[in-house]
Amino acid sequence: MAKIQDQTNATLRDGAAAAWPICLGYFPIGLSLGVLAQKAGIPWWAVAMMSLLVFAGSAQFICIAMLAAKASAPAIIMTTFVVNLRHLLMSSALAVHLSGLSQRFLTLFAYGVTDESFAVNMTRFRAGNWDRWRALVVNHLANFSWLVATVSGGFVGQFVPEGAFGINYALTGMFICLLVFQLQGRIYLITGLLAAGISIVWYLLIPGDSYIVGASITAATLGYLLKCRYRRHK
């Protein structure tokens, strides 16, 4: 019994150690979402419901902007669908590390797949010493802090000075470091540079959020083709 307890504690501790940068980064974003929701006349319990049922940062911001502009529910749902299609790619990449697990576990795990938890968990899975339970702890801690941050935004958001302690940079800093962890060879560096260039051009030319999925797929495919070519020439 004591041994199981120790293992559970270790899982929670490792999960929390991996998740804290996400939770920190979610606070300024969640608070500002709460403030915007309050200004748009959305009650706090509706914000809580949205953070629990949807749990997707950019879609929730868009939803509030669209509600404030009196958009229809089908239009908001369609937009949400398109904005969140990028998770298809992330879940596919995660599937490599979660193969053969029960449908029940995967059903629970899928709920917490976000840009941030994906990046943290993929990095850890790749480094080894990571398992599905630690990954699940990361997902759900991130979700919990998102819920707390978005709801409290409606109450305390306007009293927090904008940009205090550079907290708006937390997620950018985290993504920079996770990107460094991913650079495990020349082909990864090339793919990353391709994705950066393509995403900027795509972002400037095409309205909406398709640049994330579009640039990722294009860059990964080009990187893959380059890798195949390089292998053949060797």
Q: Hey, which residues between 155 and 214 contact other proteins (CB under 8 A)?
A: 163-170, 172-183, 187-188, 191-200, 203-204, 207, 211-212
Of 83 and 148, CB closest to other proteins: 83
Helix, strand or coil, per DSSP, at residue 184: coil
Q: Per rule CB under 8 A, is residue 224 in the interface with other proteins?
A: yes
Of 6 and 43, CB closest to other proteins: 43
Q: Per rule CB under 8 A, is residue 59 in the interface with other proteins?
A: yes
Sign of CA pseudo-dihedral 175, 177, 178, 182: positive
Backbone angles phi, psi at 106, to 5 degrees: -65, -35
Structure tokens at 163: 């940009």
Q: Per rule CB under 8 A, is residue 92 in the interface with other proteins?
A: yes
Q: Which of residues 22-51 bind other proteins (CB under 8 A)?
A: 24-25, 42, 46, 49-50
Q: Per rule CB under 8 A, is residue 10 in the interface with other proteins?
A: no
Interface pick for other proteins out of 96, 155, 186, 229 (rule CB under 8 A): 96
> Minimal distance in Å, beta carbon 76 to other proteins?
6
Q: How many CB atoms lie within 10 A of CB 75?
A: 11
Backbone angles phi, psi at 71, to 5 degrees: -75, 160
Query: How many residues sit close enough to other proteins to count as binding (CB under 8 A)?
Result: 97
> Minimal distance in Å, beta carbon 35 to other proteins?
18
- Helix axis angle for 2-39 and 132-156, nearest 10°, is 30
Cα torsion through 41, 46, 51, 53, rounded to 10:
-140
Of 6 and 197, CB closest to other proteins: 197
Q: For residues 192 and 180, what is the distance between their CA atoms, to the nearest angstrom?
A: 10
Sign of CA pseudo-dihedral 234, 191, 86, 204: negative
> Minimal distance in Å, beta carbon 155 to other proteins?
18
Q: Which of residues 103-142 bind other proteins (CB under 8 A)?
A: 103, 106-107, 109-111, 113, 115, 118-120, 122-123
Of 6 and 166, CB closest to other proteins: 166
Q: For residues 109 and 104, what is the distance between their CA atoms, to the nearest angstrom?
A: 9
Q: Per rule CB under 8 A, is residue 80 in the interface with other proteins?
A: yes
